[in-house]
Amino acid sequence: MTNHRSYSFPLTFSVVIPAYNEENGIEACLESVLAQTIEPLKVIVVNDGSTDSTPEILRRYSDRITVLNLEENTGNKALALREAIPYLEGDIVVYTDADSVLDPKAMERMLIHFLDRDVGGISGFVRSKAHNLITGIREIQYIYGQEILKRGMGVINAVPVIPGCVGAVRRELFDPPSETMTEDMDMTLSILRDGYRVVFEPKAIVWTSDPPNLRSYVKQSVRWYAGYFQNFKKHFLNLPKRVKLQMAVSVLDNSLFSILLLATLFLQLITGDGSIPIALFAIEMSLWFVLATHATLTRGRSDLLGSLLIAPLFRVIDSAIWTYSLIREIFLKKGDFRWHRSDKIKLSPRVH
């Protein structure tokens, strides 16, 4: 392991990594954490009842990390994260996922913001480990969502999610709730509700393992959207006005796309003339595609051109999942708390 550490830092921190059957990625994750430019006080891995070779891999790092072995899988990432709370040390908690690899300066670039006492949490920049066209779709979504949307949210202090694969919060604010499917969004909204700033740091980069096939893509999207609406119901009324506005606009934008899509199909099938919604749908889709293409190519990602060509199809798939989750969580109040664990690809220690 190459040691890149350059200087000490006035704030101390612990790193928390939940892990359940992560033999394909945990070693690369740990190597990236232990190679950070700022050394953590403690690295805590919560082995959440893994049944593969994850425990054996963790034993090889036992002199450099603290491992908490849970006998049975909790079935809930937040519950696993909470097991680490009694063992935390320092001022800040940095967390990542066992299927992710951090840039060597990721923690340094996040931690510097905590010198401002008004800052409660930091969101890094998520990248997808290149694998195929479907992981390329996720990369396009990450680029569009972060380069265009999240930067704007950061300006008005309305970043709604500190992603679980690259985030940091003050130790006293680290309290992952287990009542929703997206504990990272749940905790972030609580931080905003309590009056702290949440900063987006685009130079704190993580490469994560995304679903390599359509089945897993859908399962992951169902979990994300169900969690979004669960958090919407839980937090919306108690959030600052700027965050309410951001979330309301997001719901309206995605819902409008779904309405236009459904109206187009309905009118075309019933009357044979869906020209008006088709035109509106085409305008919305074209605008999204132009912005996504511009953001992607601006980052020099010409390798994603193949994924860009099929991106509109996945926009429609996402719209269907969004509508399903909206109806199930808001109108039917079913509450989808299944984990929907998706397939993952193996990460190499060096992905950049």
pLDDT, tens digit, 9 for 90 and up, residues 165-189: 999 999 999 999 999 999 999 999 9
Tens-place pLDDT, residues 251-286:
988 888 888 777 777 776 777 665 766 677 677 778
Alpha helix positions (H), 167-240: 183-193, 214-235
When pLDDT is averaged across residues 134-138 and rounded to a whole number, the result is 95
Task: DSSP letter for 330, please.
Answer: I
* Contact (Cβ atoms closer than 8 angstroms) between residue 239 and residue 192: yes
Distance from the Cα of residue 335 to its chain's centroid: 20
pTM: 0.90
Q: Give the strand order in the sheet containing 197-208.
A: 66-70, 42-48, 13-19, 92-95, 167-170, 119-128, 197-208, 100-102
Range with the lowest mean pLDDT among 27-41, 214-228, 324-338? Answer: 324-338
Range with the lowest mean pLDDT among 114-128, 212-226, 286-300, 327-341? Answer: 327-341
Q: Comparing C-alpha atoms, which of 46, 87, 276 is closest to residue 171?
A: 87
Distance CA 161, CA 183 (A): 9
Whether residue 1 is predicted with pLDDT greater than 50 in this model: the reply is: no
Question: Could you tell me which residue, 123 or 268, shows the higher pLDDT?
Answer: 123
**What is the set of domains in the chain, with CATH numbers?**
13-211 (3.90.550.10)
Predicted confidence band of residue 69 (pLDDT cuts 50, 70, 90): very high
When pLDDT is averaged across residues 282-299 and rounded to a whole number, the result is 84
Average pLDDT over the chain reads 90
* Contact (Cβ atoms closer than 8 angstroms) between residue 341 and residue 76: no
